[in-house]
Structure 1
Amino acid sequence: MGKKIKDLTSSGGDEDRKIKRKRKLEEEAQINGEVIETPEISASKKSDKKKKKKEKKNGKEAENTQLENGSKLSEGFNGESGKKKKKKEEKRDGEVGEEEKKSYGVVVVSGKNSGDSKYAPLSSFADSKLPDNVLECCKGFAKPSPIQAHAWPFLLDNRDLIGIAQTGSGKTLAFGIPAIMHVLGKRKDEKSRRVNPLCLFLSPTRELAQQIADVLCDAGKSCGIKTACFYGGTSKGPQLSALKSGIDIAIGTPGRLKDLIEMGACRLQDVSFVVLDEADRMLDMGFEQDVRSILSKTNSARQMVMFSATWPMEVHQLAQEFMDPNPIKVVVGSEDLAANHDVMQIVEVLEENTRDRRLVALLDKYHESQKNRVIVFVLYQKEGDRVERMLQGRGWNVVAIHAGKPQSTRTKSLALFKSGTCPLLIATDVAARGLDIPDVEVVINYSFPLTTEDYVHRIGRTGRAGKKGVAHTFFTKENKGLAGELVNVLREANQHIPPDLVKFGTHVKKKESKLYGAHFREITADAPKATKITFADSDDE
């Protein structure tokens, strides 16, 4: 402990004596490696300690209030203060400000000639020098999102590109606009429309394929671009008719596209622009052989684009095989999956048999008006059906989607949820990735997913486009093996970590991800190939 220099005023000593004594004490302290504190400094430190203690107490009270009132998605929660708004407006066009850094993180671009000035990120839509009819779909946005601003210069220059960005970052238009320009460039000197498509987009799920198609249909309408979507669980008739009449862009799931190719109805030899969206999920679902087979049918001089939330070895190997040796890589945020910081995460440790009662209580709290959109995630199809029946029996207006339901039912349920006609949705992980459903205010994880990665994707359905959201998660002792990874997710996002969760332990078995641990099994090179199992009622999931 450091020595304190006493106030010598009361001792009656003169000023010189006080100064000499002070210097002597300072010299002794320096020799002994001690810390000197004057009364003024000491008092100041005490004051600082009191201040910090008070701030900590107030912070804890605020945190508790936040947990208790998570359902209050008021204007203040979703809105911006005047100062923040003014600060945002004052930012230079194209400059990544603090708010964007919080939302998207730092952008890292690598690859051959990636530092060339001609690939400078766009600061406005005008900088892209794209035709007005192509940019018609971007009128609702002030400027390109970070992934668009950095990816467009490369994609418009026909470079192969790997994009890693969180969901809701505008990645559909990041590869969609260059695809439209690719078609326009190819069609420029042709008098008649070709039958075969020039662009191909592959997606792991039907819902995501349909969403991409909706965005591209809207974006390409003003340019005369014809788009069609192909997925299983529905009649092939309309899809065959679309192929016969001729299309520019084909969007689909691997299972159905492979069927159409084998029938001789879909010919991809003219495809020179290919996009694999959610590539990691596609391989995780067992589509690797189908993807390889489809890619082998496209033009060998194709431009390849791969978007993925994470970058496991399997995706890396696929990129090495089908892309340029040194493709451009644009990472917005981190290659490690990061939870959206606009989502307030509430984790509740409870017994499995109490989940139904707790779910109803939370719906009374979060969905009292029965007008705001809420998604309840479950793990299995049967569990989804049971929860749907249970809530319907209690008078809730609810629909459910999962891979076991007919595609017509899934499409109808999703449309009802998006329109707000039925704003309560029960879903398995088919709705966890990629789906852009506006204004989802709350996500409830009735069952914790099999991986922490899927947890991050689930909660990413809310807190989109700069808005705030709430994710309330049930965690049981059956999930204790993922406790350590979940703690890391919460800690990275500065969220409250419940003591009951820490009791399960914070050990992460294998650190493949810097933040959350391993999200996929490491497979050796000599391991046998996986066999895809096809069920009678589902040909692509």
Structure 2
Amino acid sequence: MGRKLKEPSNLSDPEAEETSNHNETRAEKKKKKHRNKHKEEDQLGPKRKLEEIAPQEENSDSTKKKKKHKKSKEKKEQESENNEEPKRNGDMEESKSTDAVVLVTGKDANEAKYKPLDSFAESKLPSEILQCCENFQRPSPIQSRAWPFLLDGRDFIGIAKTGSGKTLAFGIPAINQVLNKRKGKFSRGRYPLCLVLAPTRELAQQISDVLFEAGKPCGVESVCLYGGTSKGPQISSLKSGVDIVIGTPGRLKDLIEMGLCCLNEVSFAVLDEADRMLDMGFEPEVRYILGQTCSARQMVMFSATWPLSVHQLAQEFMDPNPVKVVVGSEDLAANHDVMQIVEVLDDRSRDGRLVALLEKYHKSKGNRVLVFVLYKMEATRVENMLQRGGWKVCSIHGDKAQNQRTQALSLFKQGSCPLMIATDVAARGLDIPDVEVVINYSFPLTTEDYVHRIGRTGRAGKKGVAHTFFTHHNKGLAGELVNVLREAGQNVPSDLLKFGTHVKKKESKLYGAHFREISADAPKAKKITFADSDDED
């Protein structure tokens, strides 16, 4: 029917239609009227068939009006159903607290009881627990989504950008669990109930500071365990009794093996920056430490990406169907509040160009500038070079003692020394306020780390600048960098395009974008046996 009633192509052209009208015969007009009638019937489709139930009323004016109203009502209802379908399925929706897109997956993850929180009061938590949130108007998107699941005891995977309030997203439920387990009874020498693992000393200390302040009104005590410093004070705190242990894998494993830290009662375990932890080679320590915790524990993972190694760890230590919440996107994307400037130059030009940029951004304005390098020795060399040039500069890297690293970070945060050289130990997780400029003296080993580095600026709605040196040694990452720049609407230099825009398919542990998650109810793989034709008679 569709082919017979198709309009001639020239009727879609106004000029052709006007010409044909003058030359139309009476028969042609009759045919055209017949075609238009059937075309209208085709457009009405199933709704027309429904209306033909009462043909005797077709000529009634009131009936025609009713039909018209009915069509309009049905159309609106259909559009409403189409608009509501994604929310009903819980696939993707807009967070009420911000415009961030939230993806939620997992068994029963979209039940009414897990509705995202619009206010802190909706959590129904005691006022002393929420005292640390007084300076915030409402929960951040990751907090709004995480708390209903975590307070209900669900295993949880959270993926959100840095600076999104992840620490309190797991910290508040951890404190609440301690209070519920202790029931107000505190005794000296008590074992910890909650564990938080972090990849670096700086991130562990930052988490400890947040949880210490949050737990103070409730009487919940925590200890931070990390290497590069004396074990004495840490051991003393453990013997006095703590509720929450925050630590790095190496030091925590040492204290467990020494019999000084017992995790048998830990029923709430968190891996923060899980992907980074495994990238740094801590997988054996992480598995060992988690093996010391209570078998009936609640498991929480926060990760910027979701590579295969982290997925396998989650499968081993989590429920078969954990809840997974992604705020924003799992795809690699830079902060759009950061202006990205990329320069292609040779190695020998970098020192002079760095000094020129510091003259522009730092000397006269006194802006807080963070300079990233790739290796520890490079950090020392660049620091010494700048100091010889009369610049006041501090640095943070793995070869420095922990007290030196803590002091440098403190001076930089306070603004006493607003110029700091750092390796990637400062690229992720750290909350350093008011960094106006990031300079990548050396491009990192992965584009992922580049995104985290430049994310140190442009935080909390402020604008920032990221200036990056790109050399021929980095040409293998040119395609990925071009994609990041284009996604953020940034200028792509022609010199960078000369390296090509090809992006290699990644299957390494550093990248999880090409790994396809397999649901728990997926069919099992079938073993296929091939007969050897040489053995057949």
- Per the normalisation by structure 1, the TM-score is 0.77
Q: Does the 8 Å CA contact 1:309/1:337 hold for their aligned counterparts?
A: no
The answer on 1:135 being equivalent to 2:130 is yes
Change (3 A) 1:367 1:193: same
The match for 1:418 is 413
Render the CA deviation track for 1:291-317: whole Å, top value 9, x for unaligned.
000001000010000000000010000
The match for 2:394 is 399
How many Å apart are 1:475 and its aligned residue?
0.4
Question: What is the one-letter code of the residue matched to 2:259?
Answer: G
How many Å apart are 1:136 and its aligned residue?
1.2
The match for 1:111 is 106
The match for 1:176 is 171
Distance in 2 of aligned mates of 1:277 and 1:341? 24
Question: What is the one-letter code of the residue matched to 1:423?
Answer: P
Query: Which residues in structure 2 correspond to 1:64-213 (within 5 Å)?
Result: 96=95, 100-101=98-99, 105-188=100-183, 190=185, 192-213=187-208
The answer on 1:503 being equivalent to 2:495 is no
Question: What is the one-letter code of the residue matched to 2:133?
Answer: C
Question: If you compute each CA radius of gyration, which structure gives the higher value, 1 or 2?
Answer: 2
How many Å apart are 1:465 and its aligned residue?
1.2
Q: Which of 330, 334, 337 matches 1:335? A: 330
Give the match's secondary structure for 2:294.
Answer: coil
How many Å apart are 1:512 and its aligned residue?
6.0
How many Å apart are 1:336 and its aligned residue?
2.2
How many Å apart are 1:519 and its aligned residue?
3.3
Give the match's secondary structure for 2:360.
Answer: helix
Question: What is the one-letter code of the residue matched to 1:158?
Answer: G
Render the CA deviation track for 1:150-200: whole Å, top value 9, x for unaligned.
000000111100000111111011011111101111111635355211100
Distance in 2 of aligned mates of 1:255 and 1:182? 26
Distance in 2 of aligned mates of 1:243 and 1:274? 17
Q: Which of 427, 434, 448 matches 1:432? A: 427
Change (3 A) 1:23 1:161: same
The match for 1:386 is 381
Give the match's secondary structure for 1:362.
Answer: helix
Distance in 1 of aligned mates of 2:297 and 2:15? 83
The match for 1:444 is 439
Change (3 A) 1:367 1:114: same
Render the CA deviation track for 1:21-77: whole Å, top value 9, x for unaligned.
88229999xxxxxxxxxxxxxxxxxxxxxxxxxxxxxxxxxxxxxxxxxxxxxxxxx
The answer on 1:287 being equivalent to 2:282 is yes
Gaps of 5+ in 1: 1-18, 29-93, 524-541
Question: What is the one-letter code of the residue matched to 1:519?
Answer: Y
Distance in 1 of aligned mates of 2:454 and 2:201? 20
Q: Does the 8 Å CA contact 1:338/1:489 hold for their aligned counterparts?
A: yes
- Per the normalisation by structure 2, the TM-score is 0.77
Distance in 2 of aligned mates of 1:27 and 1:107? 59
Distance in 2 of aligned mates of 1:512 and 1:470? 32
Give the match's secondary structure for 2:330.
Answer: coil
Render the CA deviation track for 1:105-130: whole Å, top value 9, x for unaligned.
41011111111111000001111111
Question: What is the one-letter code of the residue matched to 1:287?
Answer: F
Distance in 1 of aligned mates of 2:22 and 2:166? 64
The answer on 1:453 being equivalent to 2:448 is yes
Question: What is the one-letter code of the residue matched to 1:185?
Answer: N
Q: Does the 8 Å CA contact 2:106/2:322 hold for their aligned counterparts?
A: yes
Question: What is the one-letter code of the residue matched to 1:218?
Answer: E
Give the match's secondary structure for 2:218.
Answer: coil
Distance in 2 of aligned mates of 1:195 and 1:222? 19
The match for 2:7 is none
Distance in 2 of aligned mates of 1:249 and 1:27? 89
Distance in 1 of aligned mates of 2:343 and 2:98? 30
Question: What is the one-letter code of the residue matched to 2:233?
Answer: P
Change (3 A) 1:26 1:127: farther
After alignment, is 331-340 or 300-309 more displaced?
Answer: 331-340
Question: What is the one-letter code of the residue matched to 1:128?
Answer: S
Distance in 2 of aligned mates of 1:430 and 1:23? 74
Render the CA deviation track for 1:360-406: whole Å, top value 9, x for unaligned.
11111111346321100000111100110111111111100000111
The answer on 1:492 being equivalent to 2:484 is no
Q: Does the 8 Å CA contact 2:475/2:499 hold for their aligned counterparts?
A: yes
Identity of aligned residues (%): 72
Q: Which of 347, 358, 366 matches 2:361? A: 366
The answer on 1:230 being equivalent to 2:222 is no
Distance in 2 of aligned mates of 1:178 and 1:326? 20
The match for 2:467 is 472
Give the match's secondary structure for 2:363.
Answer: coil
Q: Does the 8 Å CA contact 1:452/1:519 hold for their aligned counterparts?
A: no
The match for 2:241 is 246
Render the CA deviation track for 1:251-308: whole Å, top value 9, x for unaligned.
0000000000000000000111000000001011110010000001000010000000
The answer on 1:257 being equivalent to 2:277 is no
Give the match's secondary structure for 1:309.
Answer: coil
Distance in 1 of aligned mates of 2:177 and 2:17? 79
Distance in 1 of aligned mates of 2:196 and 2:495? 44
Give the match's secondary structure for 1:228.
Answer: strand
Distance in 1 of aligned mates of 2:475 and 2:444? 12
Question: What is the one-letter code of the residue matched to 1:479?
Answer: N
Change (3 A) 1:505 1:191: closer
Q: Does the 8 Å CA contact 2:346/2:472 hold for their aligned counterparts?
A: yes
Q: Does the 8 Å CA contact 2:271/2:302 hold for their aligned counterparts?
A: yes
Distance in 2 of aligned mates of 1:189 and 1:218? 19
Q: Does the 8 Å CA contact 2:187/2:241 hold for their aligned counterparts?
A: no
How many Å apart are 1:520 and its aligned residue?
7.0
**Alignment RMSD (CA, Å):** 2.3
Q: Does the 8 Å CA contact 2:156/2:299 hold for their aligned counterparts?
A: yes
Give the match's secondary structure for 1:367.
Answer: helix
Give the match's secondary structure for 1:118.
Answer: helix
Change (3 A) 1:160 1:521: closer
Change (3 A) 1:518 1:204: closer
Give the match's secondary structure for 1:440.
Answer: coil
Distance in 2 of aligned mates of 1:472 and 1:360? 13
Q: Does the 8 Å CA contact 1:391/1:398 hold for their aligned counterparts?
A: yes
Change (3 A) 1:477 1:131: same
